[in-house]
Amino acid sequence: MKYDRIVIRYGEMSTKGRNRNKFIDKLKKSVKSALSTFPKIKIEASWDRMFVLLNGEDVQEIKEILKKIFGIQSFSPAVKVKQDLEEMKEAALELAGSLYQEGNTFKITAKRSDKTFELDTDGINQLFGAHLLKNIPGLKVDVKKPDINLLIEVRKEGVYLSCETIKGAGGYPAGSSGKAMLMLSGGIDSPVAGFMAMRRGLEIEAVHFFSPPFTSERSKEKVIDLAKKLAQVYGHITLHIVPFTDVQQAIREQVPENYTMTSTRRFMLKITDKIREKREGLAIITGESLGQVASQTLESMYTINEVTNTPILRPLISMDKTEIIKIAHEIDTLEISNRPYEDCCTIFVPASPKTKPRREKVRQYESFFDFDPLIEEAVTETETITIKPDRDTQTEFDELF
């Protein structure tokens, strides 16, 4: 039996009342974008279901991709037939027959949203159950743990038959919550923060600070590889690479050593905020987790955060490193993050960075030099690239959510 479509059930957005149309529209766009390499498919959306019409495209490959799309509760490869008992019987038999292996058990699960249909759910269960028992010798009924659960869903426009319900990634569809800039380092945390933000429907653009020749091409490649993983979610991601060497050198010359880390963070945040403004984002996301390192104490955050009143989202704030590592492993970024690299923040790391830096102090240290031209230059010299996922390195993170 060849499935001719995939039925998609919406996630949490079903509860979103008036925003529903917007959500459906966003989900349709992300499905379309994620399946852009399958030219023959067509996508149809109705108020409570979406359908991917396969037109001969490979159902297995498409299933793997759909598992990763946020906003999908579950989905089922299915066959559609008319509201005609004979046609339905034939399709049911063909589908169950193609899956049947000796000794298998089955049950029928009927759903009827079209109440005008001639049979109710009990009637459907009985008729089709009897039909399969009669025509597939050896098949037995098991309503608790069947090997084959044949779902027969009677809707106004037709009847859908399927045998498999696959769990989706949940969350909200891409871009339904607005846009934010992800400060993406080559470390373990920030890619995980990006994934978690995307799961809530945020569209993200990544910003990476790069300090050649102190940071190598390899460390840039690493960030591009991480961005490729993030790009799997929506089919692409925009990455801004900020040349940061001059700002960092100026900091090193102007600011006392134990405050260079604080000051570096402040300028990174300031520059990210300028890029955000240009790109019309409404928030900045970081991979910070409270207390993890000197720059992530509450005092540090307070002092660094002074440079902007843009919301800073920190999805990992209360998580332990072991939990973060587990997710990094599941979304397949851990191995990339573990490659040795120099981050622009670690190259000039002071021996003892201030763990309780003060706003007045850092403000004063920064006041002896005009950083603005360097900041402006970093923003104008920023390289913006669109990253697409590597199809052949597609991985599974369906277990995660």
| Contact footprint for ligand ATP (CB under 6 A) | 183-185, 187-190, 207-209, 286-288, 292-293, 295-296, 343-345
> Closest residue to ligand ATP, Cβ-based?
187
User: Residue 245 has which token pair?
Assistant: 């060497």
**Which segments within 46-147 are labelled E, that is strand?**
49-53, 72-81, 105-112, 140-141
Burial of 219 (0-12, 13-18, 19+ CB in 10 A): buried
Residue with Cβ nearer Mg ion (99 or 347): 347
User: Residue 164 has which token pair?
Assistant: 């498999």
Please report how close the Cβ of residue 278 comes to ligand ATP at its closest, in angstroms: 17
Please report how close the Cβ of residue 256 comes to ligand ATP at its closest, in angstroms: 19
The answer to whether 49 and 8 are in contact (CB under 8 A) is yes
Residue with Cβ nearer ligand ATP (131 or 266): 266
Rounded CA-CA distance 192/173 in Å is 18
Q: Determine how β-strand 237-243 pairs with β-strand 283-285.
A: unpaired
Residue 190 interacts with, from ligand ATP, Mg ion, none (CB under 5-8 Å by kind)? ligand ATP
Please report how close the Cβ of residue 286 comes to ligand ATP at its closest, in angstroms: 4
Contacts of 300 (CB under 8 A, 6+ apart): 262, 265, 294, 354, 355, 356, 357
Give the residues across from 284 on adjacent strands: 181, 312
Residue 330 interacts with, from Mg ion, ligand ATP, none (CB under 5-8 Å by kind)? none
> Closest residue to Mg ion, Cβ-based?
187
Binding-site annotation: residue ranges = 183-184, 208-209, 265, 287, 296
Binding-site annotation: residue ranges for ATP = 183-184, 208-209, 265, 287, 296
Please report how close the Cβ of residue 152 comes to ligand ATP at its closest, in angstroms: 48
Residue 263 interacts with, from Mg ion, ligand ATP, none (CB under 5-8 Å by kind)? none
Name the site residues for Mg ion (rule: CB under 5 A): 185, 187
Note the maximum CA span of the chain: 89
Please report how close the Cβ of residue 397 comes to ligand ATP at its closest, in angstroms: 18
